[in-house]
């Protein structure tokens, strides 16, 4: 951000290299990509050193366990542990670290301890898409629903609809999403027996063939509907209230008055003049929300027994399957960082003021 303001006024006479440096760091896209990579690197570094430097570190533990359980000689147990964690234990720590980063860059995240022979990357490829589908779809629904309802609330201020939605929105917003999930199961599933919750577990029915068939799509939605309802219900309130505040503020802008004075139609003012500008503050909220919802999927998936990456992370954590845990966490973070990056670039496209730097 500091670099951005400098790049606007490059001092004359400095070497061309500095000029290029300022041009590159001053570029909005370059800065955002650099920030994303920095975050992923920080997370990879943190997990690497946590696994190795913490007291009772999991590699030593695992070696000890192999020796005790299978009576392996130390060297053999050590080799096995090294291959599972995808590190070379004979190298100095810094060399291990560089090697680890290199392997991550190539998509090699080691092997699972608990399910022998399964590659962590394969596990992630199998489960991550379900979470992305579920969370992404929910965010999209709740964002659109929230914008529509929020705009309505702003136009019909102090109406019954406004008060009712404000009440419901704040109420749902304050209850933790996992409690909403439980309430859904308790009442819809068990008390009133409206939904067969046991059958709805998993990400699809056993024996279902993936493909672009109606049966498959219906089945996938059937399994995802409860998590989606939970995500939508717990996030839509925020969008609604933010959109209402933002629309109310935009309605008082001079250019809106001017448009009215010019005699433009209400429809045109509402969409092109008010709507487009009122949505802008929601984008910054959107980026924060992606991380929150994606992170919260850990709890929601455990409650609904939805087979996504969050549930894999929970079982890896409770089973102390460190390579899987490390990989899942890294990928979850990377997905959030990537989604944030996309949202930010989109924001920069919609609102050109952002690109110049704050």
Partner 1 sequence: MSATVASPPSTPMPGMATVRAFGRTLLALVRQPAGAIGLFGVVFFLLLAFVGPSFVVLDVKTKLGKEYQLPSSEFLLGTDYQGRDVFSQIVHGGRDIIIVATTTALITTAIAVSLGALAGFLGGWFDTVVLAIADIILTIPQFPLLLVLATFVRLNNIVLLGVLLAALGWPALMRAIRSQVLSLRQRDYIEAARCLDLGTGHIVFQQILPSMTGYIAISFTLGMINAIFLQVGLIFLGLVPLSGNNWGVMLQLAWVRGAIFIKGGLGYILSPVVAISLLQLSLIMLARSLEEIFNPRLRRGN
Residues that bind partner 1 (CB under 8 A): 1-2, 35, 38-39, 42-43, 47, 50, 54, 170-171, 173-176, 178-179, 182-183, 185-186, 189-191, 245, 248-249, 288, 291-292, 294-296, 298-299, 302-303, 310, 313-314, 317-318, 320, 322, 325-326, 328-329, 332-333, 336-337, 340
- Give min distance, CB of 211 to partner 1, in A: 31
- Residues whose CB falls within 8 Å of the CB of residue 127, separated by 6 or more in sequence, listed in order: 307, 308, 309, 311, 312
With respect to partner 1, which residue has the nearer C-beta, 4 or 80? 4
Q: Which is nearer to partner 1, 45 or 83 (CB)?
A: 45
d(CA 64, CA 150): 59
Instruction: Please return the burial class of 293, using the count of CB atoms within 10 Å of its CB with bins 0-12, 13-18 and 19+.
Output: buried
As measured in angstroms, the least distance from the Cβ of 257 to partner 1 is 17
Total residues belonging to the chain: 358
Closest CA to 296 of 244, 243, 230, 347: 230
Q: Which is nearer to partner 1, 8 or 288 (CB)?
A: 288
Closest distance of CB 187 from partner 1, Å: 10
| Shortest separation between residue 202's beta carbon and partner 1, angstroms | 18
CB of 115 to partner 1, least distance (A): 18
Cβ at position 322, least distance to partner 1 in Å: 8
Q: Which is nearer to partner 1, 54 or 261 (CB)?
A: 54
Q: Where are the alpha helices (DSSP H) in the chain?
A: 2-8, 16-26, 28-53, 58-70, 74-84, 93-105, 120-155, 160-174, 177-184, 214-251, 254-262, 266-268, 276-304, 309-318, 322-350, 352-355
Q: Which residues contact 111 (CB under 8 A, 6 or more apart)?
A: 83, 84, 86, 117, 118, 119, 120, 323
Torsion sign (Cα): 202, 205, 211, 213: negative
Nearer to partner 1, 203 or 333 (CB): 333
Q: How far is the CB of 313 from partner 1 (least distance, A)?
A: 6
Q: Which is nearer to partner 1, 52 or 220 (CB)?
A: 52
Choose between 20 and 42: whose C-beta lies nearer to partner 1.
Answer: 42
What's the CA gap between 29 and 344, in Å, rounded? 9
**Cα–Cα distance measured from residue 278 to residue 244, given in angstroms and rounded to the nearest whole number:** 9
């Amino acid at each position: 951000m500091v670099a951005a303001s400098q790049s606007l006024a490059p001092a004359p006479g400095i070497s061309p290299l500095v000029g290029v440096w300022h041009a590159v760091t001053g570029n909005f896209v370059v800065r955002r990509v650099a920030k994303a990579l920095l975050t992923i690197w920080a997370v990879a570094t943190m997990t690497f050193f946590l696994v190795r430097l913490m007291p009772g570190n999991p590699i030593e533990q695992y070696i000890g366990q192999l020796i005790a359980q299978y009576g392996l000689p130390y060297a053999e147990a050590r080799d096995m542990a090294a291959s599972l964690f995808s590190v070379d234990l004979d190298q100095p720590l810094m060399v291990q670290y560089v090697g680890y980063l290199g392997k991550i860059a190539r998509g090699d995240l080691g092997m699972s301890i608990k399910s022998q022979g399964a590659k962590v990357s394969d596990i992630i490829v199998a489960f991550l898409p379900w979470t992305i589908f579920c969370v992404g779809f929910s965010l999209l629904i709740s964002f659109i629903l929230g914008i529509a309802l929020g705009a309505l609330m702003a136009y019909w201020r102090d109406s019954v609809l406004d008060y009712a939605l404000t009440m419901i929105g704040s109420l749902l917003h304050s209850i933790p999403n996992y409690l909403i999930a439980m309430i859904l199961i308790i009442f819809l599933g068990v008390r009133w027996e409206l939904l067969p919750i046991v059958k709805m577990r998993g990400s699809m029915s056993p024996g279902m063939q993936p493909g672009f068939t109606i049966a498959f799509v219906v089945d996938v939605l059937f399994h995802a509907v409860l998590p989606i309802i939970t995500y939508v219900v717990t996030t839509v309130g925020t969008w609604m209230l933010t959109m209402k505040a933002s629309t109310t503020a935009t309605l008082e802008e001079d250019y809106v008055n001017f448009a009215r004075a010019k005699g433009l139609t209400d429809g045109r003012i509402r969409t092109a003049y008010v709507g487009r500008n009122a949505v802008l503050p929601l984008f910054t909220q959107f980026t924060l929300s992606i991380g929150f919802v994606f992170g919260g999927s850990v709890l929601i998936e455990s409650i609904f027994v939805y087979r996504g990456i969050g549930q894999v992370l929970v079982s890896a954590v409770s089973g102390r399957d460190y390579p899987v845990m490390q990989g899942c966490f890294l990928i979850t973070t990377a997905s959030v960082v990537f989604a944030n990056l996309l949202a930010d670039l989109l924001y920069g496209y919609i609102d050109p003021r952002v690109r110049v730097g704050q």
